[in-house]
Structure 1
Amino acid sequence: MSNLRFSSVLIILFFFHTTSAQTAPAAPSGPTNITQVLEKAGQFTTFIKLLKATQVADRINAQLNNSNQGLTIFAPTDNAFASLKSGLLNSISSQEQLQLVQFHILPNLYTVSQFQTASNPLQTQAGNGGDGQFPLNVTTSGNQVNVTTGVVDASVANTIYSDSQLAVYQVDQVLLPLALFGAPPTPAPAPAPTRPEKNVRAADSPSSTTPVNTSGVLGLIGLRGKGAILSVAVIAVTASCLWL
């Protein structure tokens, strides 16, 4: 009788275990989605729109879920986009909008500590920066990371998301690449003052209208004339004396 009860308990336990294993919900897991990461963080509406419009979001998700290559993304906030000159984004072509978004993405995973030893300029998906068109330089001070593009200087505010493949950092400025927006204009040096050509000529040669003091010349001529008359008179007197 005891054996029967023991067998019944084993059957019940086995049935319960099998039923639980079949009905237990799977652990929540799924592919990484960059737009969901940014939506969860909030305040990145404009950047999400650009990611979708340029189809960069789809490329990021495909890369993260189909390869082991890591990515680093600098995500500007809505306030950062609001601080741009009015109409700036609409003034550039769709190709340039793509380059602008790609400029915010590094094709390698960087932790905050790895920025301290990174070699500038960093390579972005828009370009390698070696030709001077898409330079992206980082400087660090402790845990503070600053990003310079040649057009704007931005600071990394905090880490939005981080795992073994993806790091997303919040930046307080839109990273404007040099190739699209150029460097801030520098004031040209003031030209050296030049003297007009006619003034130089006037200084070098006397003008025809400049009065000339002729009193000295006329006086000299007068003296010479008087000397000639005196000489003639002396000769005449001498000749008359000899004649006599």
Structure 2
Amino acid sequence: MEQIFSTFPLVFFFLLFFIYSTPTLSQSPAPAPGPPGPADIIAILQKARQYTTFIRLLKTTQVSDQLNTQLSKSNEGLTVFAPTDAAFTSLKPGTLNSLSDQQKVELIQFHVLPSFFSVSQFQTTSNPLRTQVGNDGQFPLNVTATGNQVNITTDMVNATVANTVYTDNQLAVYQVDKVLLPHGLFAPPPPAPAPAKPKKQEASSSSPTDDTARVDTSGGIHLSQHAFRAMSSLVLVLGAFCF
């Protein structure tokens, strides 16, 4: 009996070692996390706050869907200049309401560069930069940088990059203190071309000359100037003869 109790701790130790060293078959190892998906521009701006108006325009124009799709399919990345709510408040009253739906799309696209730019890359870039609107001369955008100071110039606005909202080497979102307005959005449409003047009808070759009698549709006879003078002289001669 004493021998059994003396070996019990040793047996108990081996049982515990066996239980903890044997892998549990019912549990499979956790899968490795997959690569993160593309950044969502709306989610980034909502997390940063103070971009309510810009978010609303991104949604109503559906530009946000376009940008998210572009991020998932392109390796060039995107750069977004995001005006704050205070920047939109400083606009002249009625500015946004004066724009058509297409012009609002162009306004938002004007705030997006179709490639990724870090702050340091702005120091060596060539102006004007191509935006999502394109390189149209009606929408010029120039960006200059000195150190961490980045300035943006359009043909209507001088703005400053106040902060980096988000960057991941694929998407860069920068806070700007003004809404980037291009003059092309507010330029009056070109005047419509003047209507062509009707051509003058050429005189018919069969038209009567001044020396021939002209007959109108009423049946009266119009005498030429020479015939009228001849008849006047005849009347005068006959009058003198009668007297």
Matched, 1:19 2:27: yes
State the Cα distance separating 1:66 from its structure 2 match. 2.7
Shift in alpha-carbon separation, 1:5–1:138, aligned structure 2, 3 A: closer
- In structure 1, what is the Cα distance between the partners aligned to 2:185 and 2:148? 30
Q: What is the aligned partner in structure 2 of residue 179 from structure 1?
A: 184
Q: Which residue of 2 aligns with 1:229?
A: none
Shift of 1:7: 3.5
Aligned sequence identity (%): 59
The counterpart of 1:126, out of the listed 126, 133, 136, is 133
Tell me if structure 2 keeps the 8 A contact 1:151–1:181. no
The answer on whether the counterparts of 1:136 and 1:149 sit within 8 Å (CA) in structure 2 is yes
Task: Letter of the 1:117 partner, please give it.
Answer: T
| Partner Cα separation in structure 2 for residue 179 and residue 143 of structure 1 | 30
1:30-69 equivalence runs, <5 A: 30-69=37-76
Structure with greater helix percent: 1
**Contact kept in structure 2, 1:149 and 1:176, CA below 8 Å:** yes
Structural mapping, 1:68-147, within 5 Å: 68-129=75-136, 132-147=137-152
| Pair 1:162-2:167 in alignment | yes
In the alignment, the residues of structure 2 paired with residue 69 and residue 83 of structure 1 have an alpha-carbon distance, to the nearest angstrom, of 33
Shift of 1:124: 0.1
CA–CA distance in structure 1, aligned partners of residues 15 and 40 of structure 2: 55
Instruction: Answer with 54-63 or 28-37: which moved more.
Output: 28-37
- CA deviation digits over 1:92-135, x for unaligned, max 9? 10000000000000001000000000100000001214xx2111
Equivalent position of 1:188 in the other structure: none
Check whether the contact 1:63–1:69 (CA below 8 A) recurs between aligned residues: no
Distance in 2, Cα, partners of 1:69 & 1:28: 18
CA-atom RMSD, angstroms?
2.4
Aligned-partner residue type, residue 52 of structure 1? K
Unaligned segments of structure 1, at least 5 residues: 183-244
Which consecutive segments of 4 or more residues in structure 1 shift more than 4 A? 1-6, 24-30
Displacement, 1:8? 3.0
**Amino acid paired to 1:83:** S
**Would you say the 8 A contact 1:157–1:171 is kept in 2?**
yes
**Structure of higher CA gyration radius:** 1
Distance in 2 between the 1:169 and 1:147 partners?
11
Amino acid at match of 1:138: V
- Number of residue pairs matched by the alignment: 176
